[in-house]
Amino acid sequence: MAPEAMTATAPMRAAAVVRNATVVLFALCCWLCGALAAQAAPRIGVATMAPGEIFFERFGHNAIVVVNAPQDDRSPDVSVHGEPLSYNFGFFDMEEAGFVGRFVKGEMMYRLVELPWREDLQYYLDSGRGVTIQWLDLDDARATALAMALAENARPENARYRYDYFVDNCATRVRDAIDRALDGTLKPQLTVRSQGNSFRGEAVRLASPAPWMWLGFDIGLGPSSDPPLSRWDDAYVPMRLADSLRDARLPDGRPLVLREERVAPHRIAPEPLEFRLVWWQWLIAGLALALAWLRLDAHAPRASSGLAIAFWLACGVLGAVMLFIWTATEHRFAWANRNLLLMTPLALALLPGAWRRVRGRAPGVAFKWLASAIALGGVAAMLLYWSERVPQANAHWIALMLPIHAAWAWIAWRSTDAKH
């Protein structure tokens, strides 16, 4: 080949190499952009776990599931999209220093944990609790922003939060995260509607399988737990949040929930139904107990007084606990509890007089005044119930306790000067 031909061919070969490299780089950029776009548009789901059998599982649970796949990709192959993540706001550590003290004072600390969804789900599969996921129809920007916000929130320095059973829990944290992703358009939809539920009603309903638990809620909650809730506040119950999300709309009017999927069957007792306490049934029980006690005291005052010791001891201890919660803790939904007028620490002052009656002696003059004061407390509870616009839902306790207190006031006045 002539030197001139060789000199002319070299630039042509160099230009071809540049063109080929440019094509390869362009294709690589397109592939990277596509991969990044797919990663930037995760699927977002709200997982709802049905109530369990352990006392702290009675109220259900929520978590947010993030899958690194586009909204229109239904493939379950995690090897392609990466393992789904669960953002779970319900973690606490009983071994943490000071846990019991903070629990008593109403200052419990919970935290958000990011973990593989398969690990989170396995617990509910093992315990027989049903799980559903509501996949949200979020656009790429909202889904990405929500996933990034959750990842930031799950960092150790951001994960802990002050837990409140009614207003700041695993369900309300999920609700608030979705509301922020929707630029605050979820809250107005739920605030203007109500199903007439209350904090007390829902707590008592969900705790009803365990009598000690629902009685504790019903006795211990104050009037702040009784006003009717909007569906926004109602969403402190995970299952209520799921109900509200089914009806929620995106800013453009489309349904928020794209589809709903059951991922674990429910194999234990179902969620309790509505739990209503009928006051007149409790009144019949209260009148029957009062009449029985009057009859027993007329024939066996020592036995009657022995039973009274147990009754007043229970009333006094419960009253002391309610008073402590009101004055020394942050459990604000138990403050100003009207049941303090029915189950009062003052009942403990009746124990010496009752013990004297057990021994066949006169109970003393103070006994009749204390018994009368306790009966008047029951009357005051009834007047408060009638006078308040939204009264504490304790009509059934008034109906039960007032006849018993009145019967003992009668017994105390009748027996003050008598020696048995």
What pLDDT does 70 receive? Answer: 53
Under 8 Å CB-to-CB from 98, ≥6 apart: which residues?
none
3-state helix, strand, coil in the chain (%, to 5): 60, 10, 30
Fill in the amino acid letter for 34: G
Residue 108 near residue 330 (C-beta atoms within 8 A): no
Give the ranges where 40-139 is alpha helix by DSSP (H): 78-81, 99-105, 117-127
Fill in the amino acid letter for 172: T
Query: E strands along 137-246, which residues?
Result: 160-162
CA 408 to chain centre: 39
Query: How many whole angstroms separate alpha carbon 377 and alpha carbon 105?
Result: 27
Fill in the amino acid letter for 204: V
- Using the 8-state DSSP alphabet, how is residue 92 labeled? -
Query: How many whole angstroms separate alpha carbon 318 and alpha carbon 161?
Result: 30
Q: What count of other Cβ atoms lies within 10 Å of the Cβ of residue 400? A: 22
Query: How many whole angstroms separate alpha carbon 148 and alpha carbon 68?
Result: 12
Query: How many whole angstroms separate alpha carbon 365 and alpha carbon 378?
Result: 21
List the chain domain ranges: 1-39, 43-194+230-264, 279-415
Name the residue among 61, 165, 163, 69 with its Cα closest to residue 110: 163
In order along its 420 residues, the chain shows pLDDT tens digits of 444 444 445 555 555 554 555 555 555 555 555 554 445 579 999 999 999 999 889 999 999 999 986 545 544 443 335 689 999 999 988 878 888 899 899 999 999 999 999 999 999 999 999 999 999 999 999 999 999 999 999 999 999 999 999 999 999 999 999 999 999 999 999 998 899 999 999 999 999 999 999 999 999 999 999 999 999 999 999 999 999 999 999 999 999 999 999 999 999 999 998 878 899 999 999 999 999 999 999 999 999 999 999 999 999 999 999 999 999 999 999 999 999 999 999 999 999 999 999 998 989 899 999 999 999 999 999 999 999 999 999 999 999 999 999 999 999 998 765 544
* Helix and strand counts by DSSP (H, E) for the chain: 16, 7
Angle at which helices 395-415 and 301-328 pack, to 10 degrees? Answer: 130
CB-count burial class (<10 Å; 0-12, 13-18, 19+) for 152: exposed
Residue 118 near residue 151 (C-beta atoms within 8 A): no
Residue 84 near residue 66 (C-beta atoms within 8 A): yes
For 32, the enclosing helix (H) or strand (E) is: helix 3-39
Fill in the amino acid letter for 220: G
Query: How many whole angstroms separate alpha carbon 228 and alpha carbon 244?
Result: 16
What pLDDT does 38 receive? Answer: 46
Whole-model pTM: value is: 0.85
Residue 382 near residue 338 (C-beta atoms within 8 A): no
Query: How many whole angstroms separate alpha carbon 50 and alpha carbon 123?
Result: 12
What pLDDT does 75 receive? Answer: 46
Quickly name the fold that domain 43-194+230-264 has. endopeptidase fold (from Nostoc punctiforme) (3.90.1720)
Residue 294 near residue 411 (C-beta atoms within 8 A): yes
